[in-house]
Amino acid sequence: MRSMDFRPVFLVNGILLAILALVMCVPAFVDWYTGHKNWQVFAASAGLTLFVGVAMAFASNTGGARLNVRQAFLMTTLAWVLLAIFASIPLRFSDLGLSFTDAFFEAMSGLTTTGSTVITGLDHAPPGVLLWRALLQWVGGIGIIVMAIAILPLLRVGGMQLFRMESSEQGDKALPRAAQIAVVIGVIYLLLTVAWSAAYWFAGMSGFDSVAHAMTTIATGGFSTHDESLGYFDNATIDAIATFGMLMGALPFLLYLKTIQGDWRALSNDSQVQWFLIAVGAGVIVAAGWLWLDDGRSIFDSVRYSAFNVVSIITGTGYATEDYTLWGAFATPLFFFMMFIGGCAGSTTCGIKVFRFQVLYAAARTQMHHLMLPHGIFVPHYNRRPISDEVIVSVLSFFFVFGICYALLALGLGMLGLDFLSAISSAGTAISNVGPALGPIVGPAGNFQSIPDPAKWLLTGGMLLGRLELFTVLVLFTRSFWRG
Amino acid sequence: MRSMDFRPVFLVNGILLAILALVMCVPAFVDWYTGHKNWQVFAASAGLTLFVGVAMAFASNTGGARLNVRQAFLMTTLAWVLLAIFASIPLRFSDLGLSFTDAFFEAMSGLTTTGSTVITGLDHAPPGVLLWRALLQWVGGIGIIVMAIAILPLLRVGGMQLFRMESSEQGDKALPRAAQIAVVIGVIYLLLTVAWSAAYWFAGMSGFDSVAHAMTTIATGGFSTHDESLGYFDNATIDAIATFGMLMGALPFLLYLKTIQGDWRALSNDSQVQWFLIAVGAGVIVAAGWLWLDDGRSIFDSVRYSAFNVVSIITGTGYATEDYTLWGAFATPLFFFMMFIGGCAGSTTCGIKVFRFQVLYAAARTQMHHLMLPHGIFVPHYNRRPISDEVIVSVLSFFFVFGICYALLALGLGMLGLDFLSAISSAGTAISNVGPALGPIVGPAGNFQSIPDPAKWLLTGGMLLGRLELFTVLVLFTRSFWRG
């Protein structure tokens, strides 16, 4: 390999920044329209971001050179960091008076669709800021889907090569085809958001709340416009709408496309979707049973609160209608382990993701057969297709690296003074992009305001790592990446 | 495969029971000699165990038939269960008044060298019982070493095929060679125990305490003759002797044999030993630094308490000289994650074990290179030898299954009413065969007496699973194992 040509990396990042600047105009307009002087902050930030973005893009114009693998890794990681930095500017200078640490934490939490927040007093925050937080998650969500469909499979990160599209094998057609698909999926994403806005509105939310929550529901992000999250509305219909919305956001978006193209069984035939729904169902039943038997609630209430909060945690959304850590001794470990599951690949969710558990299970099963018949040949399958050894090792390595990163993150947080429960649950919520952690401080009823600044930076790093499937970031820290 | 011939399985188990009966005569003699009427319990138990063992052996005599793979799995798992059942009999009927659950928990904790206890008032317990607990760990320790050297590599469990001896490839010579090696290693084990008994005695322990602690030190078991564990003696020399003894127990015993045979660099050249000592060193330095800076202790005290307790946890011994969970916020996550590390393969330690981390690290590293150069060929290495794909998948599957079993165990304990910290640390301490968990109830200053009986049974299962490297037990629960 030659030394790296940074121009294509900067070109893409410049374009993305310019897009971010355009998105910033929305809260600027809303704040101006509703008479909040905060609009100036958004307008100025948009101007700055647009200027930097356009300048970067022009300065690095390559006349259509293609990205190689190393450039693609750098481009992806850099994009999330740069976008988070620029997205944090209006938060830093808004009326909320956030420090840069807090603003960057909030921006990264938004763009990665994590949903952890350092802001209290959301109910009285200017609408521009609330909309900006929702927009960050919404933009982050579609960014992740496109990345998971078009980029990660080519980079072969953590077993994502399982989801290479047939056409992507033939180099030339790959990119235009991917671009087309990205546009169609963007439209689906938009339509789902519109549908959920309407549903929320009919169920009684204000127009503003409907749009903001629809965006963070479909993106499985979890930012709310109220400190109490969706618990603020205390409305079973809204809970149900949110529950289904989070599930929609957690399914593979490529399958929606196939469904529209006439393959009506695309979703129901997909083993990842089946496993995901079984996992969710099991979690809901266990938690509801616990609430019913141990907490003495009605069956309806048990199912309502269990379904909402379990779906919120498994999909990594992070809404809450209650402090489920008060549901008794069993709830804490249950919600703790559910944080790591995640949704389907090619959705807006994070975490380990269901297909990896399928591959790991298939590998472990094959392993057992192999133990009994050492000379037999057993091939693990995923979705009725054999899994190559390369994919198995990729997925298994992902699981190991996930474990190590998680442990180091939790240790770091402990070293910075967080108590045990806060440390190990915050590390999990960050790397899985869930949102709230567990316990009185950073749990669903608390937020991340009070933890020390270095801990916030660690968590921001954890969110980025988790969001980019670890390896995309970690390869940048190897010597051979830079030596070429 | 034909349906299984159980006779060789029962033959081996009968012989093992007969050996256990002979070991039971030692506490019987000691109790008789010191005038405790408990000697009758041990004598009766020994008689019963001997009778059952001999009967089983005679009834199943096969005239030297060899074990096949399925029989070896069944024999191994059954041996640990049967020995624990019979070992619990004298505990059940001793003066301590233990229930069968408690007695079985204590016996399994002993034989698996876990070291979790349900007994309080050790300081006033009859000497026979104390000696029996120590003997169980001692016998369990040598049993594990022999199993790890002679059986598991042939069964290819969890990557243990890495440690197949050259000669074991040639079927016929394998067993006699393994038997010879087992005898020599048994002698080394005995000599180490004698040496450590002497050291403890010179440092000021009573003769009885010296022998009991030497047995549980070299076995990295962790049972003590005092409720306060080694903290009872409050003696820096004893702490140092114990620290080195636990490290000796955590190294691969096969390398002691090689050292004796004249290969003086066998230990220092082994990459597993190097990694293990680096991990221990890092843990000791971090914990000592924390104690020195945060707790304001002298450097000597910081190193003394850190070295002892870190080594005790990493090696899965489970002695304590202090309640390290009171060392501040950082200590809890540090000790929590250290529980899972374990020592070297072929030692008395449990946990994930260092060689697996090496294989996992090598696989993850290869994975990263592969991401950057998709068409390059990279081969991970262990101890300067290439690792086969089969070993990588074995080890990675082990790691995944370990994670799943751990999570299910913790969830089960939560469901049975344990608080979060007790649940997730007890699950870890059981599956890694460490001993104490974390927190006020089951931590180093507490014990497992007060937790509900079903939780004790779950933990007993966790100890067995962890001790037999998971797969040895889990294959018995597959349909294809029994269908043949």
User: What is the per-residue pLDDT across A389-432, written as a single tens digit (0 to 9) for each?
Assistant: 889 889 989 999 999 999 999 999 999 999 999 999 999 999 99
B447-470 pLDDT, tens digit each: 899 999 999 999 999 999 999 999
The total of other beta-carbon atoms located within 10 Å of residue A205's CB is 23
The candidate with the shortest Cα–Cα distance to A444, out of A454, A453, A436, is A436
Q: How far is A167 from chain B (nearest CA, A)?
A: 18
Most B CBs within 10 Å, among A2, A151, A294, A397, to test the B interface: A397
pLDDT of residue A66: 72
CA dist A300 and A150 (Å) reads 42
pLDDT band at A176 (very low <50, low <70, confident <90, very high): low
The backbone torsions φ and ψ at residue A438, rounded to the nearest 5 degrees and listed phi first, read -125, 160
Specify the 3-state DSSP secondary structure of A451: coil
B380-405 pLDDT, tens digit each: 888 888 998 889 889 989 999 999 99
pLDDT band at A153 (very low <50, low <70, confident <90, very high): confident
Test B364 with A424 for CB contact under 8 angstroms.
Answer: no
C-alpha pair distances (Å), A315 with each of A277, A395, A463, B210:
11, 20, 15, 55
Q: For residue A475, give the nearest of B371, B438, B480 by CB distance.
A: B371
Partners of A330 on chain B (C-beta within 8 Å) are 411, 414-415, 417
User: Which residues on adjacent β-strands are paired with residue B386?
Assistant: B381
- Check pLDDT > 60 for residue A137: yes
C-alpha pair distances (Å), A314 with each of A335, A338, B29:
8, 5, 59
CA dist B438 and B433 (Å) reads 14
Test A424 with B399 for CB contact under 8 angstroms.
Answer: no
Per-residue tokens: B438: 């974390």
Q: How far is A367 from chain B (nearest CA, A)?
A: 7
Q: For residue B360, give the nearest of A290, A400, A415 by CB distance.
A: A400
Test B399 with A399 for CB contact under 8 angstroms.
Answer: yes
CA dist B285 and A114 (Å) reads 35
Overall size of chain A counted in residues: 484
Specify the 3-state DSSP secondary structure of A180: helix
DSSP string, B209-228: HHHHHHHHHHTT----SSTT
Over range B59-81, report the average pLDDT. 85
Test A333 with B413 for CB contact under 8 angstroms.
Answer: yes
Residue type, B284: V
B1-16 pLDDT, tens digit each: 456 788 889 999 999 9
The candidate with the shortest Cα–Cα distance to A145, out of A256, A45, A238, A36, is A256
Q: For residue B334, give the nearest of A394, A414, A475 by CB distance.
A: A414
Q: How far is CA B262 from the centre of its chain?
A: 29
Q: How far is B294 from chain A (nearest CA, A)?
A: 10
C-alpha pair distances (Å), A206 with each of A139, A214, A231, A232:
22, 12, 15, 13
- Residue that is written with structure tokens 């809260």 in the block: A27
C-alpha pair distances (Å), A257 with each of A184, A191, A217, A263:
8, 12, 20, 9
Test B371 with A411 for CB contact under 8 angstroms.
Answer: no
The candidate with the shortest Cα–Cα distance to A239, out of A200, A279, A212, is A200
- This model of the complex carries an ipTM of 0.91
B232-244 pLDDT, tens digit each: 999 999 999 999 9
Test B400 with A70 for CB contact under 8 angstroms.
Answer: no
CA dist B382 and B396 (Å) reads 14
CA dist B335 and B324 (Å) reads 8
User: Which residues on adjacent β-strands are paired with residue A382?
Assistant: A385
pLDDT of residue A168: 44
Whole-structure pTM value: 0.93
pLDDT band at B153 (very low <50, low <70, confident <90, very high): confident
Partners of B392 on chain A (C-beta within 8 Å) are 393, 396
The total of other beta-carbon atoms located within 10 Å of residue B92's CB is 19
CA-based nearest residue in chain A for residue B389: A389
pLDDT of residue A158: 86
CA dist B263 and B242 (Å) reads 26
CA-based nearest residue in chain B for residue A340: B407
Q: How far is A382 from chain B (nearest CA, A)?
A: 16
The candidate with the shortest Cα–Cα distance to B334, out of B309, B351, B359, B352, is B309
Cβ atoms of residues B112 and B216 within 8 Å: no
- Count how many pairs of residues, chain A against chain B, have C-beta atoms within 8 Å: 160
CA-based nearest residue in chain B for residue A475: B368
Dihedral of CA A317/A318/A319/A320: which sign? positive
Partners of B475 on chain A (C-beta within 8 Å) are 368, 371-372
Partners of A424 on chain B (C-beta within 8 Å) are 333, 336
Domain residue ranges in chain B: 356-483
Test A418 with B69 for CB contact under 8 angstroms.
Answer: no
**Which residues have C-beta within 8 Å of that of residue A390, sequence separation ≥ 6?**
A156, A161
- Check pLDDT > 80 for residue A64: no
Q: How far is CA B33 from the centre of its chain?
A: 31
Test A367 with B478 for CB contact under 8 angstroms.
Answer: no
The backbone torsions φ and ψ at residue A386, rounded to the nearest 5 degrees and listed phi first, read -65, 145
Specify the 3-state DSSP secondary structure of A385: strand
B420-438 pLDDT, tens digit each: 999 999 999 999 999 999 9
Cβ atoms of residues A129 and A27 within 8 Å: yes
- Check pLDDT > 90 for residue B63: no
Residue type, B204: G
Burial class (CB in 10 A: 0-12, 13-18, 19+), B128: buried
Q: How far is CA A296 from the centre of its chain?
A: 34
What stretches of B261-298 show up as alpha helix (H) in DSSP?
271-294
pLDDT of residue B84: 97
Q: For residue B363, give the nearest of A393, A421, A474 by CB distance.
A: A393
**Which residues have C-beta within 8 Å of that of residue B300, sequence separation ≥ 6?**
none
Most B CBs within 10 Å, among A393, A402, A458, A471, to test the B interface: A393
pLDDT band at A166 (very low <50, low <70, confident <90, very high): low
Test A374 with B478 for CB contact under 8 angstroms.
Answer: no
Q: For residue A393, give the nearest of B290, B332, B393 by CB distance.
A: B393
A200-252 pLDDT, tens digit each: 999 999 999 999 999 999 999 999 999 999 999 999 999 999 999 999 999 99
- Check pLDDT > 70 for residue B166: no
Cβ atoms of residues A218 and A249 within 8 Å: yes
Cβ atoms of residues B24 and B46 within 8 Å: yes
pLDDT of residue B294: 85
